[in-house]
């Protein structure tokens, strides 16, 4: 009878399920017939910041790596983002390990500079990326992992899932939204502020993307009425205080216990902006650092939106209750009539089709494990970049990549 190694104990396999560390059921696939040569190393799925950093750390640790990227070029998510997008995170803390941005890069790099940086990193380290290979499924075969892809199956001892936490734009199913005669779009398709000249715009969501949109709309003078529908108050920090880029404090913030980081952020927010509840923003459900881990809400950055709220150019309103043909009914019963609704309502990982059978995702599709933390009953499955962090995605990519490489290299010894 065939055997599979579950937690390094040989067990018979016949369409078997096991219990994961979190008590969920994981399938072990019984079919060995199309198993290709097993790579004694790691397949990294996704060549974004997280995947590239993990691959480079693995190679440095002596682990053989293949990177599978579904797009035809690097940094496709950054290519697709709106023209005016600059990082909220500081240049010096937004680079991949060992590579700086070119001299003269502004404090908050434009997305095109980020694209250049990711390409430079991949070239510098000659990272082995197979482009145009979309992974469709990942199966546990006991002592290895089978990766089903658009280019056929591949197998390896380890799989590092780095497909991004903002892979699929998410818009809630609002009552009546199909009947709305205006336009509903996701913040991922924002375009340019000038596209909204003369338009009445409702932005839904006071998180990172919501404030990014509001910062841009507030900077343009041509937008008509702007509303912000907020269910929760934001964890909001200014991009700068005087000449200091606030993100520079992130390594210090990350070193604090969560309750202390919550308190430091709340105090900074209050000191800089005053009491935003006066302008209709609801209180935040919990502290900014806590929410990174509890509901995966990233910290929002203000770059002009708060001044526009205080000046009355952006009106804060309650959350949406329902759509009707000519507008939106709010939770307080009031009706407003926007031309465009921008849903800054977040993203999903979209990992269910790939990993659904393994019992490693929570109700929102976010992996239960990230970085060096993994399920001992599913040895060789790793995740990186699946949670927001105080430091931002680039610094986090380096830290998690090194941690995963340390674990994998340690197991090989
Ligand atoms: C508007 C906006 C602004 C942001 N600004 C900042 C900022 O200022 N600072 C900051 O630190 N972070 C910022 N972020 C967050 C940041 O973009 C992401 O956290 C970051 O891109 C994560 O990198 P990643 O490698 O985890 O994911 P991604 O960059 O999404 O890379 C994932 C890669 O995996 C590939 N992939 C996906 N599925 C498959 C598959 N099935 N098979 C093969 N390949 C696959 C994708 O094509 C992609 O190349 C912002 C996000 C948004 C939406």
In the chain, ranges of CATH 3.50.50.60 domains: 8-167+349-412, 169-347
Ligand 1 atom nearest 347 alpha carbon: 53
Ligand 1 atom nearest 51 alpha carbon: 25
User: What is the rounded distance in angstroms from the CA atom of residue 106 to the CA atom of residue 239?
Assistant: 13
Closest CA to 191 of 328, 348, 340, 337: 340
Task: Report pLDDT for 357.
Answer: 87
Burial of 122 by CB count in 10 Å (0-12 exposed, 13-18 middle, 19+ buried)? buried
Ligand 1 atom nearest 391 alpha carbon: 11
Mutation pick for ligand 1 pocket among 137, 164, 296, 395 (CB with most ligand atoms within 8 Å): 164
User: What is the rounded distance in angstroms from the CA atom of residue 10 to the CA atom of residue 127?
Assistant: 35
Closest CA to 367 of 133, 94, 158, 160: 160
| Alpha-carbon distances of 306 from 20, 217, 310, rounded to whole Å | 45, 12, 6
CATH class of 169-347: alpha beta
Q: Is 58 in the pocket of ligand 1 (CB under 6 A)?
A: no
Q: Is 393 in the pocket of ligand 1 (CB under 6 A)?
A: yes
Q: What is the pTM of this model?
A: 0.90
Of the pLDDT bands very low, low, confident and very high (cuts 50, 70, 90), residue 18 is: low
Q: Is 262 in the pocket of ligand 1 (CB under 6 A)?
A: no
pLDDT, tens digit (0-9, with 9 covering 90-100), for 184-220: 999 999 999 999 999 999 999 999 999 999 999 998 7
CA of 166 to the centre of ligand 1 (A): 6
Closest CA to 217 of 37, 82, 398: 82
Among protein residues, the one whose CA lies closest to atom 41 of ligand 1: 135
User: What is the rounded distance in angstroms from the CA atom of residue 154 to the CA atom of residue 34?
Assistant: 9
First to last CA, the chain: 29
Q: What is the CATH number of domain 8-167+349-412?
A: 3.50.50.60
Name residue 156's beta-bridge partners.
39, 145
State yes or no: pLDDT of 11 exceeds 80. Answer: no
What number is the average pLDDT over the span 64-82? 96
Q: Are 239 and 303 in contact (CB under 8 A)?
A: yes
Q: Is 48 in the pocket of ligand 1 (CB under 6 A)?
A: yes
């Amino acid at each position: 009878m065939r055997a599979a190694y579950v937690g390094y104990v040989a067990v018979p396999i016949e369409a078997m399920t096991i219990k994961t560390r979190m008590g969920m059921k994981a399938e072990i696939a019984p079919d060995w017939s199309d198993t290709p040569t097993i790579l004694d190393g790691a397949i990294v799925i996704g060549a974004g910041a997280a995947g590239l950093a993990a691959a480079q750390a693995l190679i440095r640790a002596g682990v053989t790596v293949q990177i599978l990227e579904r797009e035809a070029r690097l940094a496709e998510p950054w290519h697709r983002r709106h023209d005016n997008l600059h990082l909220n995170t500081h240049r010096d803390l937004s680079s991949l390990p060992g590579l700086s941005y070119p001299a003269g890069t502004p404090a908050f790099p434009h997305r095109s500079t980020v694209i250049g940086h990711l390409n430079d990193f991949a070239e510098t380290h000659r990272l082995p990326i197979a482009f145009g290979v979309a992974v469709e499924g990942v199966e546990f075969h006991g002592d290895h992992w089978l990766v089903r892809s658009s280019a056929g199956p591949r197998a390896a001892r380890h799989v590092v899932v780095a497909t991004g936490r903002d892979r699929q734009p998410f818009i809630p199913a609002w009552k009546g939204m199909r009947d709305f005669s205006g336009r509903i779009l996701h913040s991922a398709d924002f375009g340019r502020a000038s596209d909204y000249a003369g338009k009445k715009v409702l932005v839904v969501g006071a998180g990172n993307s919501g404030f990014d949109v509001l910062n841009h709309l507030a900077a343009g003078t041509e937008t008509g009425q702007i509303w912000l529908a907020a269910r929760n108050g934001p964890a909001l920090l200014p991009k700068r205080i005087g000449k200091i880029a606030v993100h520079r404090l992130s390594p210090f913030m990350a070193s604090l216990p969560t309750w202390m980081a919550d308190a430091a952020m709340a105090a900074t927010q209050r000191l800089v902006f005053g009491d935003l509840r006066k302008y209709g923003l609801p209180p935040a459900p919990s502290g900014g650092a806590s929410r990174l881990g509890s509901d995966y809400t990233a910290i929002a950055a203000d770059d002009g939106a708060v001044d526009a709220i205080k000046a009355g150019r952006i009106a804060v309103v309650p959350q949406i209750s329902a759509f009707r043909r000519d507008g939106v009914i709010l939770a307080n019963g009031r009706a407003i009539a926007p031309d465009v609704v921008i849903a800054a309502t977040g993203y999903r990982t979209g990992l269910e089709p790939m990993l659904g059978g393994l019992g490693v995702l929570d109700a929102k599709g976010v992996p239960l494990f990230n970085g060096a933390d993994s399920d001992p009953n599913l040895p060789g499955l790793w995740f990186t970049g699946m949670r927001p962090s105080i430091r931002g995605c680039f610094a986090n990519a380096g830290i998690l990549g090194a941690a995963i490489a340390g674990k994998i290299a340690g197991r090989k010894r």
